Structure 1
Amino acid sequence: MRTRHGGSLVTTATRLIDIPCRYGMHLMIALRLPLDQVGAFYIVFGTMSLASGLGRLGVDRALTREMARALAHGDSASARAALWRALALVLALSVGLAILTAALAWPIARHVMDKPAMTPLFLIGALSIIPLNLSSLTAGALAGLHRVTESQIVYTWLWPGLFCVIAFLLPLDVALALLAIAGAMALAAVIGTAMLFHHLPARPAVRGTAAPLLSIGLSLFSVELVQLLISAAPPFVLGALSTTDAVGLYAIAWRVVLVIYMFVSGVASLVSPRFARLYMLHDHAGLRREARRALGFALALALLPIALVTIEPTRILMLFGAHFAPAASTLRILLIGQLAAALTTTTPELLGMTGYARALLRLNALALVTLLAGLVGFVPSLGADGAGIATAATMLVNAIGGSIVAQRRLGFTPIGELYAALSRRRSAMA
């Protein structure tokens, strides 16, 4: 049990730490800010997250894959070379995106949002791009070194936990909340860098060669881009076409749904370097086995949160404040998409880590069109519920399309392998 599942259990334990840290952050925002300021916070927070993603372009994910592949062959020189190339790329991209975001702060606030008072908030958000991307890069490198627990600490709960500590000491408003996030991300980048250099292999005598990380990252980034847009675009479009109150309702409903995503994404992050290693070693039986186990573990973790949110959506929303109860219908809509995503956990990672990132790129282009068309079509008339419909439809497109691509390119899907294994077990018991 320890040999087979020990790493998964440790990684899951780090995700359990994520709940009080990340949801402590969202709870502090919801309880201590008025509803319109909650909406303003999530508009800027989503915009900042999207801009930071464009400042990485998937290089952190590409670094995970290339370091795992190099170390599978004992080539620590190439693993180190990939790290330094990734650092140069991400730093250059992040500085450029931070400057561009700051320059666009006033035009976005004035002409897109029609809320000029939000200009300073967008400027504060631009400060967070560089430290967030540096911490993401160190987390990607740690995953490539198979230090998955440390990677998840830096990727998921370290900066929200630090935010909770900082914000607890402040008389919180929306500007101070965004400044606290920037400071927490900077501290997380420093801590993540210290973890990375502690585990980095010693410098070998020979020089290594680094793969073209940017081209690899761009293919893998299509997956992350859709995830970022699913999180960032609905609040932004709601802010432009509806009210900040509607943004606040949708944002809290989405954060409740993300409880499920936290568990399944932790499992996906755990197995990504394993997929890369098994594919590099041509161990297709091991690849099927790993995909089956990972999905089974993810569903075991996700079923209870899905059941709780389905049964008591209003009561759960009221934990953030009674004024969030009207978001119950939005929450139910989002659950449909999240259930589809849970059933196809690890499928995007499986395709990305086995060299089929181009197929993912085409699939995610379709998902992106679905999201944007849904937001423009449904938000003006339905508000937060319309954003929920667009998001759920996008997640369904990703889930169904990813399964079709995996079946055609790899000959199997994780859900198919899990179903076959359960059928064999039932037959053996009978």
Structure 2
Amino acid sequence: MISSLKTVFYNNLDEHMVEVVRGAGITFIIKVLSAGFAFAFNVLLARIVGAEGAGIYFLSLTIVTISATIGRFGLENTFLRFVAAHAAKNEWGSVKGVFQKGMLISVAVSTLISVLLFILAPILAQQLFHKSELEMPLRLMALAVVPLALYWLIAEALKGVKKIRDSQLVQGLIFPVLTCAGLFLLCDDSGVESVASIYTIGAFIVLLCGFFFWRRAVSGFKESVVAYSWKKILNSCTPLLWIQLMYLVMQWSSILLLGIWGTKAEVGVFGVASRTAMLTNFILVSVNSIVAPKFSALYCLGDMDGLAVIARKSTKMMTAFATPILLVFVIFPNFVMSIFGESFSGGGVFLIILSIGQFVNVATGSVGYLLIMTGNERLMRNNTLVVGSLSILLNVIFIPLLGALGATIATSFAMAVLNLGAFFLTWRKLGIWTLPFMGRGR
């Protein structure tokens, strides 16, 4: 019976959607496990170090995340786009050439940033955030900037060669398992410095795993490395760097500015609510891992109709999966937040607002990747620059007036505007309507 239903289901899909569904299924399972371990880590963190300790940790995490993103230099989507395109044509020498040049760029940039962050940690802690206890966790986590940047790029390259399971293990599952296990073993003896050490050690272990998976993925192809053009890589990754930076501004400027103008407890509650709300869109992350290289390959082959079908059907699937999670967060917000401890139970309204913003992200579909994988990264860059600037303005206005609530409103509104803008650009430029209702265009 089950086998018959499965056959009927797949018979109603074209070959591209079959690949998306199968790949997304693998990714979804890994993401569910990853989200579970990440959630457990956040619960352990909150219960062990409290709201104020969590605030210090999330401030350090935010700074290091931004630093690692700069260290990747916008190369993640360049890797994904070029590796997928060359792999589709069996040009393995070019695949290796892109990987080699990109990793060299990232090693140089991320090492410089890591050193600067380590040196400047006391100034940031005491003079910018006025929280002296931030210094040591920030220095410890600054050491993780290089492995964070590199293992993320390796994961994107693995997606390009259709090693989806390995990519998701590197990008999603191994890190939360390691950090959660480390925090559980230390348990009540953990301070914020111990958590920071666990984070950094985990990042280096994941990097080693990433190199192992990549070598295994390309070991069967004996083509020599093609001397890939520096100019071609930099022309692609530079606008993508701005996209990543401004996306981070929207995602993390709230917590940084709240760290300046708010209390450690406010930062902790907002940080937990923000990361919990991201569970609404983990199906989007799962599907993006499959459809992004598929977008690049189909566009390279000139199959715009196939591209449109995958974009539209994948959005419907993601919206269906995300809706129940949104409903739980909207109906039982205080209960969900109380899981992290009594000091977090008042953050229910933050969870509702942030979850709605994340749901808009899901319901508009993989519009950012559609633009980037079809060579329209500059349109996405411009969209992100405008909305990122709006995000900063909203945070500057609302946080001094409303505290953590202001940060929540600014973050959610900016996220929704960014994705609606990308949806409009996708429709106008490519003629693809991704919303799961009111279909028009391709």
TM-score range, shorter chain: over 0.9
1:118 maps to 2:134: yes
* Counterpart in the other structure of 1:180: 198
| TM-score using structure 1 length | 0.94
Structure 1 residue 314: Cα displacement: 0.4
What stretches of structure 1 move > 6 A for 4+ residues in a row?
Answer: none
> What are the superposed Cα offsets for residues 362-388 of structure 1, whole Å, 9 maximum, x if unpaired?
000011111111111111121110001
> Which residue among 371, 381, 405 is the counterpart of 1:385?
405
Q: How far apart, CA to CA, are the structure 1 residues paired with 2:234 and 2:53?
A: 37
Structure 1 residue 304: Cα displacement: 1.1
1:410 maps to 2:430: yes
* Counterpart in the other structure of 1:357: 377
Q: How far apart, CA to CA, are the structure 2 residues paired with 1:209 and 1:415?
A: 41
Pairing 1:322-333 to 2, within 5 Å after superposition: 322-333=342-353
* Counterpart in the other structure of 1:420: 439
> What are the superposed Cα offsets for residues 131-157 of structure 1, whole Å, 9 maximum, x if unpaired?
111211210110111112211221122
Contact 1:57 1:214 in 2 (8 A): no
Structure 1 residue 122: Cα displacement: 1.5
One-letter amino acid of the structure 1 residue matched with residue 199 of structure 2: I
Q: How far apart, CA to CA, are the structure 2 residues paired with 1:210 and 1:201?
A: 19
**Percent identity between the aligned chains?**
24
Q: How far apart, CA to CA, are the structure 1 residues paired with 2:234 and 2:48?
A: 41
Pairing 1:107-146 to 2, within 5 Å after superposition: 107-146=123-162
Structure 1 residue 215: Cα displacement: 2.7
Q: How far apart, CA to CA, are the structure 2 residues paired with 1:283 and 1:382?
A: 49
More deviation in 49-58 or 4-13? 4-13
Q: How far apart, CA to CA, are the structure 2 residues paired with 1:58 and 1:6?
A: 28
Q: Which runs of 5+ in 1 are unaligned?
A: 422-430
* Counterpart in the other structure of 1:424: none
Contact 2:83 2:161 in 1 (8 A): yes
Contact 1:257 1:335 in 2 (8 A): yes
* Counterpart in the other structure of 1:102: 118
One-letter amino acid of the structure 1 residue matched with residue 25 of structure 2: L
* Counterpart in the other structure of 2:326: 306
Structure 1 residue 100: Cα displacement: 1.3
* Counterpart in the other structure of 2:305: 285
Q: How far apart, CA to CA, are the structure 1 residues paired with 2:225 and 2:144?
A: 34
Q: How far apart, CA to CA, are the structure 2 residues paired with 1:220 and 1:206?
A: 28
* Counterpart in the other structure of 2:212: 194
1:222 maps to 2:238: no
Q: How far apart, CA to CA, are the structure 2 residues paired with 1:154 and 1:306?
A: 27
> Which residue among 271, 292, 306 is the counterpart of 1:251?
271
> Which residue among 50, 53, 77 is the counterpart of 1:34?
50
SS of corresponding position for 2:226: coil
Q: How far apart, CA to CA, are the structure 1 residues paired with 2:403 and 2:290?
A: 36
Structure 1 residue 201: Cα displacement: 4.9
Q: How far apart, CA to CA, are the structure 2 residues paired with 1:269 and 1:230?
A: 22
Q: In the comparison of the two structures, how many residue pairs are matched?
A: 422
Contact 2:249 2:392 in 1 (8 A): no
SS of corresponding position for 1:55: helix
Q: Which runs of 5+ in 2 are unaligned?
A: 1-8
Q: How far apart, CA to CA, are the structure 2 residues paired with 1:35 and 1:201?
A: 47
Contact 2:247 2:388 in 1 (8 A): no
1:260 maps to 2:280: yes
CA pair 245-360 structure 1, distance change in 2 beyond 3 A: same
Contact 1:55 1:93 in 2 (8 A): yes
* Counterpart in the other structure of 2:254: 234
More deviation in 199-208 or 282-291? 199-208
Contact 1:79 1:210 in 2 (8 A): no
Q: How far apart, CA to CA, are the structure 2 residues paired with 1:206 and 1:18?
A: 36
Pairing 1:155-170 to 2, within 5 Å after superposition: 155-170=171-186
Structure 1 residue 230: Cα displacement: 3.2
> What are the superposed Cα offsets for residues 248-306 of structure 1, whole Å, 9 maximum, x if unpaired?
11011111101112221111122100000000000001100110122122112211101
CA RMSD between the two structures: 1.8
> Which residue among 338, 360, 368 is the counterpart of 1:318?
338
Q: How far apart, CA to CA, are the structure 1 residues paired with 2:172 and 2:39?
A: 11
Q: How far apart, CA to CA, are the structure 1 residues paired with 2:274 and 2:246?
A: 15
> What are the superposed Cα offsets for residues 86-136 of structure 1, whole Å, 9 maximum, x if unpaired?
111111111011011112211111211112232222211211101111211
Q: How far apart, CA to CA, are the structure 2 residues paired with 1:359 and 1:385?
A: 31
Structure 1 residue 413: Cα displacement: 2.4
Contact 2:288 2:366 in 1 (8 A): yes
1:25 maps to 2:44: no
